[in-house]
A and B are shown apart, each in its own frame.
Chain A
Amino acid sequence: MSVLLEAFKAIKEKHLEAKRIVEEATAQAEKLKNEAEQKALSVYEEAYKTTLSQAEQKAMDIKRKAVKDAEHELEKFLSNAEDQAKGIEAKARKNFKKAVDSVLNMILQ
């Protein structure tokens, strides 16, 4: 009879110990979840900040590239204008006498 009692007692003790182990694990799990929830905002903010900072850098690159492209196009345009001006100059030189004669004809006709 006492052997059986001893056995029940041992089983009951181990049950209690098992319960305590599971309760501790549950508490640890709860702590992990709480910590994650507390950390969530800073993780969000960090990810937001990092991504946005990269985007800002990219936006700056877009602007820089656009400025460079515009400068290139501007150079091309001004070079064309210079050529046009030279063409005008050459034509004017060539036709100068004809134009003067035409003015004189118009005045004296």
Chain B
Amino acid sequence: MESTRVITEMILEEAKKTAEHVVQEAQKSAEETLEKQRQLGVQKANESAQLLFKKAESEAELNKLHSMANAKIKANWVILSKKEAWIDNVLNEAKNKLRTLTESKEYLSILEKLITEAGVILGGKELEVILNEQDSTLPLKLDDLAKEISERTGFETKLRLSEEKPKVIGGTIVRMANGKVIMDNTFDDILRRREKDLRSEIAKILF
């Protein structure tokens, strides 16, 4: 009877060990399955995250480039405006100086020179001299100027003061008697004609 009891206990013991092993293995397998899934989830999320980081970095870079480009445009515009304002100031001051010059004694000879040059360019003959109100009162020696133009062009020249009184700073407009060709030697027109060169020259000196 004793040996039977030993045998039956061994059978039960063996069965319990087997059962315990089966359950432990199953638990281990279940944990491994869950861990594997967890790692897979992390891996997939990391793959998406890489794209997310790249997108964030490129968006940030783009925003930075955009704001820098805007700032550069703005800064360049401010500097350019400042330069343009200074160039305008110089031109305005030059106009003021020219106005002052028209009040001076030396202006008469300057005006005569401008009339002569215009007359020569037009080729002499019968010419009309147009001056502003103030300059029309100056003691111009038109006959002497006509003589000089005749000598330089080879054509007999006559100068006549026009009744027209344009509102200009100073200088003269000389017109052929037939009215077909004019030479504008007013300070206003010289400034206008040469504005591009003047602005460039002013910029070189100022900055």
Q: Contact check, A29 vs B26: say whether CB atoms are below 8 A apart.
A: yes
Q: Which of A14-60 contact B (CB under 8 A)?
A: 14-15, 17-19, 21-22, 24-26, 28-30, 32-33, 35-37, 39-41, 43-52, 55-56, 58-60
- Interface size classification for chain A: 35 or more
Counting residue pairs across A and B whose Cβ atoms lie within 8 Å, the total is: 217
Q: Is the interface of A mostly helix, strand, loop or mixed?
A: helix
Q: Is the interface of B mostly helix, strand, loop or mixed?
A: helix
- Interface size classification for chain B: 35 or more
Contacts of A25 in B (CB 8 A): 18-20, 22-23
Q: Contact check, B55 vs A88: say whether CB atoms are below 8 A apart.
A: no
Question: What 1/0 flags go to B164-186 for Cβ under 8 Å of A?
Answer: 00000000000000000000000
Does B49 lie at the interface of the complex (its beta carbon under 8 Å from any beta carbon of A)? yes
Contacts of A17 in B (CB 8 A): 12, 15
Q: Contact check, B207 vs A62: say whether CB atoms are below 8 A apart.
A: no
Known A-B contacts A7-B1, A74-B68; the reply to A102 vs B26 at CB < 8 A is no
A43 to B42, CA, bound (A): 10
Q: Which of A6, A39, A59, A77 is in CB contact (< 8 Å) with B72? A: A77
B-to-A contact residues, CB < 8 Å: 1, 3-5, 7-8, 11-12, 14-16, 18-20, 22-23, 25-27, 29-31, 33-34, 37-42, 44-46, 48-49, 52-53, 55-57, 59-61, 63-64, 67-68, 71-72, 75, 78-79, 82-83, 86, 89-91, 93-94, 97-98, 101, 110, 187, 190-191, 194, 197-198, 201-202, 205-207
